[in-house]
Structure 1
Amino acid sequence: MSRYLPDRFTVAIILTVILASFLPASGKGAQIFEVITNVAVGVLFFMHGAKLSREAIIAGVTHWRLHLVVFLSTFVLFPVLGLTLKPVLSWLMTPELYVGILFLCALPSTVQSSIALTAVARGNVPAAVCSASFSSLIGIFLTPVLVGIFVVPHGGHISFEAVTKIFVQLLLPFIVGHLMRPLIGKFIDKHKATLKYVDQSSILLVVYTAFSAAVIEGLWQNTPASTLIGVIVATSILLAIALFITWQTGKRLGFSKADQITILFCGSKKSLATGAPMAKVLFASSAVGAIVLPVMIFHQVQLMLCAMIAQHYARRPEEDAKKIIDAAAQP
């Protein structure tokens, strides 16, 4: 049962939201937190760039059919679903939260949980590493474009200042981090377990500053419990449809079972680690809380549901799994 309960990081996010709800940063304190958070976001994307190896980029090209399916699911299927389901989703939530759903649909796939769940399900882990890493890389460039195309016409807003921030806070640190990988790559790989707390601390800072500004603007007064339930239902519907389509696509295109598992998990996920700091850069401070809320809820729903699916795949007979792995290893 513990596999389906919130992990420590999710609990930390919930506690951070509660803290911001009762003790929001305001005035001079808010300005200080704003500066600290901007620096933390830059460090976060510097770390993303330093973690991504050239080998992972090159290896991703060799299994291009699988990665193309994951790419289309992440950056085409989700935005189409977000727009197509608007009559249902808009009925379940406020317009501000629907903008958050569209922003969620534009995000890249998550890396850590996609790989971990693929491993639990005994899927094609190397392909999952490449596919999730490629999605994270391309998302830094593509997500702001998708936000401009799909989100802005539905109530979002991107200014020239936001475009500048994308380059200064996201792209530039990412590129510098990747260029410095030959110098710091071994250190990064050796201390991954410790450095993950740097990532998580950056996200918690973003969540705190975002919800502080949103609470001051009246987020909870304008978001009753019924609306929160609506967001949970909406994100569950979105995830269920994405899981069904990625599962069917993997089967009908003739991928091996190991590759089907990789497509299922990598193609149906969305990254909170990328979404929270990117929302901080792209949107006005007062709007970030409502926009990030659906992303946080989707994060927990995808972990709980996909954990159950991974356990289902993990229970298949060992001899069948060996055949699948052997088949996946064939050129």
Structure 2
Amino acid sequence: MKRPRFLPDNMTLLLLTMVILASIFPARGSVATGFDYLSTGMIALLFFMHGAKLSRQAVIAGITHWRLHLLVLLMTFAAFPLIGMLLKPMMLWLVTPELYIGILFLCVLPSTVQSSIAFTALARGNVPAAVCSASASNLLGIFLTPLLVSMMIVTQGENHSSLQAMLKIVYQLLLPFVAGQIARPWLQSWMEKRASSLKMLDQSSILMVVYVAFSEAVSEGLWQQLPLTMLLSLLVISVVMLGMIMFLTTFASRRLGFSKEDEITIFFCGSKKSLASGVPMAKVLFASHTVGMVLLPLMLFHQLQLMVCAVMAQRYAKR
């Protein structure tokens, strides 16, 4: 009965399918160009729906717990990037510089929303605070992630300034998000009735971007540059980083005197990274031929965090 928690979730299986499909049948030429325009439009729609789904009442209700939210944000946007930089000598010994860029990108992403809240609820933590922290992390990530990328990552063959990155984030991600927030009063009931269909649209947007990114990467010789040993090294790095950030979130929350419910919220919101935000942001921030390589660490870490958090949520729930 416990075995399913270690199996890949449906989204991970679909992502793997897209990678295999792009490896066998990569989109090229005018087809690739058409898919690229389509994925850009779907990303804008994705962030519009994120804006429409985000409850302002839930965010306002949780703002008073500022110490908890500040600690989660520090773990997400300060401690995690610091881990990525401190482990640089080990990482560059194990993986290529291109994969290390993907690891640093993973480190500066915001927290997940849905799974952070779900695991907090399962573990009997402070769910309202989790809603607020995860939502705030994603909202601030629209600004902080490209800023941190411009400070920490020098993309090969690209000359992205922080201003250019911010402008792309504004018109491709932030403006649709704000439009969704404005439209929320009119769309809320309609979206609630069609939650399952909209979730499929969410996932389709991410899958489309992954297919386009890996098609480009395969055309550039991705699998010739990436042996199996490199993927195993990437897995080891992901395990080390996840273990370090989980230790830090637990240690800091206990040292600062948070309750067990708050500790659970800090643990799950502060140690996770968002695939839903990371995929579209990678497409905006990096050259198209590098996006596939950049996304590999995130896709691997995504599955690892889900499996480990499922186990930890069960342990917390039994306390």
Residue aligning to 1:203: 206
Corresponding residue to 2:64 among 48, 62, 68: 62
Matches within 5 A, 1:46-195: 46-152=48-154, 157-158=159-160, 162-195=165-198
AA partner of residue 127 (structure 1): A
Deviates more, 1:85-94 or 1:187-196: 187-196
Between the aligned partners of 2:157 and 2:126, the Cα distance in structure 1 is 40
Between the aligned partners of 2:155 and 2:23, the Cα distance in structure 1 is 30
Deviates more, 1:293-302 or 1:58-67: 58-67
AA partner of residue 196 (structure 2): A
2:143–2:166 Cα contact (<8 Å) kept: no
Q: Percent identity?
A: 59
Q: Indicate the SS of the match to 1:109.
A: coil
AA partner of residue 35 (structure 2): F
2:146–2:165 Cα contact (<8 Å) kept: no
2:158–2:287 Cα contact (<8 Å) kept: no
Please list the CA deviations of residues 67-105 of structure 1 after superposition, one character each: whole Å capped at 9, or x if unmatched. 011000000001111111101111111100000011001
Residue aligning to 2:233: 230
Between the aligned partners of 2:310 and 2:160, the Cα distance in structure 1 is 36
Between the aligned partners of 1:177 and 1:279, the Cα distance in structure 2 is 21
Between the aligned partners of 2:116 and 2:159, the Cα distance in structure 1 is 30
TM-score between the two structures when normalised by the length of structure 2: 0.96
The verdict on how the C-alpha distance between 1:170 and 1:75 changes in structure 2, with shifts beyond 3 A counting, is same
- Structure 1 residue 162, shift from structure 2 partner: 4.5
Residue aligning to 2:250: 247
AA partner of residue 36 (structure 1): L
- Structure 1 residue 57, shift from structure 2 partner: 2.4
1:281 and 2:276 equivalent? no
AA partner of residue 144 (structure 1): P
1:15 and 2:24 equivalent? no
Q: Kindly report structure 1 stretches of 4+ aligned residues shifted beyond 6 Å.
A: 153-156
Between the aligned partners of 2:140 and 2:111, the Cα distance in structure 1 is 10
TM-score between the two structures when normalised by the length of structure 1: 0.92
Residue aligning to 2:266: 263
Between the aligned partners of 1:188 and 1:76, the Cα distance in structure 2 is 35
Q: Indicate the SS of the match to 1:269.
A: coil
Between the aligned partners of 1:44 and 1:192, the Cα distance in structure 2 is 13
Please list the CA deviations of residues 208-248 of structure 1 after superposition, one character each: whole Å capped at 9, or x if unmatched. 00000000001110010010111111111111000000011
2:72–2:269 Cα contact (<8 Å) kept: yes
1:162–1:283 Cα contact (<8 Å) kept: no
- Structure 1 residue 193, shift from structure 2 partner: 2.7
Please list the CA deviations of residues 297-318 of structure 1 after superposition, one character each: whole Å capped at 9, or x if unmatched. 00001001111111111222xx
Alpha-carbon RMSD across the aligned residues, in angstroms, is 1.5
Between the aligned partners of 2:62 and 2:25, the Cα distance in structure 1 is 45
Unaligned runs of 5+ in 1: 317-331
Between the aligned partners of 1:156 and 1:72, the Cα distance in structure 2 is 29
1:299 and 2:273 equivalent? no
1:44–1:202 Cα contact (<8 Å) kept: yes
Between the aligned partners of 1:81 and 1:19, the Cα distance in structure 2 is 34
- Structure 1 residue 171, shift from structure 2 partner: 1.1
Aligned residues: 316
AA partner of residue 144 (structure 2): L
2:147–2:166 Cα contact (<8 Å) kept: no
Unaligned runs of 5+ in 2: none
